[in-house]
Amino acid sequence: MAGGLISVRVSDAAPLANVFRRLTPELQRSALQSATFKAANELVKEVKNAAPVGTGPTLRTRRSRGGQVVSADYGRLRDNIRRGRSRRQKGASYVSTGNAFWGAFVEKGWTLTRRLRDGAMRKIKQVAPRPWFDPAVRRAALRTVDILNVEIQKAIEGAARRLGSQVGLDFGTRLRGRRR
């Protein structure tokens, strides 16, 4: 959630990792992007199912300090959950709550305080945390690792098929031994 990062490290995939390292950097990046994007789709499904659903109106209107009336409609939390591709880390995908900033407040809880005239802080209201994002990610973790494994394997097989066709070899069977 808000600034959180989940890294996946698969220790039982040594043979797959050895083959993966032999691919060109372009093929590695392409395979990782495709695999992480599909795995992120699985996370989005699980997180959307776990998201708390509100029933009240989504349009909020308030008066700004200058006296101007300002309205904002951020929509429902479930509708704001989406996945995207990282610009900084090539091949990385993420799942976020988009414009629904209040999702973090529900997940972690919050406290409203007010500064008194003497400088002390007084607790006005406190809401207990109701975790929903992190448990959903933990529930979907094994499925996403399986998706990553299958998609990277498909990319390796596709690269081998393309390279084989360039030199005149026929790869009619998949590397796992099944016919296509």
Q: How far apart are CA 9 and CA 145, in angstroms?
A: 9
Residue 1 lies in a domain: no
Please indicate, yes or no, if residue 84 is contained in any of the structural domains. yes
pTM: predicted TM-score of the whole model, two decimal places: 0.69
Split into its structural domains, the chain has a count of: 1
Query: What pLDDT, on a 0 to 100 scale, did the predictor assign at position 50?
Result: 93
pLDDT tens digits for 102-161?
888 889 998 888 888 898 888 888 889 999 999 998 899 888 888 888 888 888 888 777
The pLDDT tens digits for 29-65 are 888 888 888 888 999 999 999 999 888 778 888 888 8
In a domain, 154, yes or no: yes
22 domain-assigned: yes
Cα separation, 136 vs 132, whole angstroms: 6
Average pLDDT, the chain: 80
Quote the domain boundaries for residue 70. Answer: 14-166
Residue 38 included in any domain: yes
Do 124 and 112 contact (CB within 8 A), yes or no?
yes
Decide if 57 is inside a domain: yes
Residues 6 or more apart whose CB falls under 8 angstroms from that of 81 comprise 44, 47, 48, 51, 95, 96, 97, 98, 100
Is there a domain that residue 5 lies in? no
Residue 8 lies in a domain: no
